[in-house]
Amino acid sequence: MAPPELDALGAAARALGRADLVVVATGAGMSRESGIPTFREALTGLWARFDPEEMATEQAFRRAPARVFGWYAWRRMVVRAAVPHAGYDAIVALERLLPEVLVVTQNVDGLHARAGSRRVVELHGSLERFRCLDAGHPYPADAVPEPATEGELAPPACPRCGAPIRPGVVWFGEVLPEREVALAWEAAARCAVMLVVGTSGLVQPAAALPRVARDAGAFVVEVNPEPSDVSPFATVVCRGSAGVVLPALVARMGGSA
């Protein structure tokens, strides 16, 4: 009798092999093996004493713009230096093996696109996008300095209206972008398989996606070394890290990352 994780891997590989549409829904755990801390670990140094749910808000930015902007400029610098690990390559391999794959990510690090994934929906925006706080005037990412150390960084002023420049991410209390939500929810309701990778399933409304897929009859695979709020909705759970399980899945399907 194969150990349970191999059964899960085999069942997941078989379900993927039959799937017309696969949604790969990823959270911060997907980037962990590329050296990017998960959201709950993302507050280091001077920010260590803050709670992410406090820092990632418009209120925090208005109250302490240099502290919040410095955190995002630092995270962007860390992310730019990161290299997508084998789990990202495995998702790109899935895109070659299967008829239709859509990546729906909560992450703002851009690593899926950098790895070569062609269809990526960013539910929470991107560290590489900036706009002004009041009018939403776009601001060129390359004009934002890359800090040499973790520290406060005063946001630039919008050249058009003078408002402070903010990161193009979705903060807590902000609505998710309409187009991305429509794409993600439509695919979740239509997919044969949803691969849920590296998310605690705590942040709404993204956390509802595995439930949408399961309720629509999809085969839901969770890839996470730890139990999460997604686990109860999973058809099978592959208890392991993204960088190990995803390549193993593709290998079981006879593909190679």
Give me the amino acid identity at 149.
T
> Binding residues for ligand BV8, per CB under 6 A?
27-29, 32-33, 38-40, 53, 56, 106, 108, 124, 169-175, 197-200, 202-206, 223-226, 228, 241-242
Q: Using the minimum distance from each CB to ligand BV8, give the nearer residue, 100 or 151.
A: 151
Length of the chain: 257
Which residue lies nearest ligand BV8, judged by its C-beta? 29
Q: Closest approach of Cβ 103 to ligand BV8, in Å?
A: 14
Q: Using the minimum distance from each CB to ligand BV8, give the nearer residue, 138 or 205.
A: 205
Q: Closest approach of Cβ 240 to ligand BV8, in Å?
A: 7
Q: Could you count the other beta carbons within 10 Å of the beta carbon of residue 133?
A: 17
Of 16, 1, 2, nearest to 223 by C-alpha is: 16
Order across the sheet with 125-132: list the strands.
138-139, 125-132, 165-169
Q: Using the minimum distance from each CB to ligand BV8, give the nearer residue, 74 or 139.
A: 74
Residues catalogued as catalytic: 124
For 80-136, give the secondary structure using H, E and C. HCCCCCHHHHHHHHHHHHCCEEEEEECCCCCHHHHHCCCCEEECCEEEEEEEECCCC
Q: Closest approach of Cβ 169 to ligand BV8, in Å?
A: 4
Q: Closest approach of Cβ 92 to ligand BV8, in Å?
A: 17
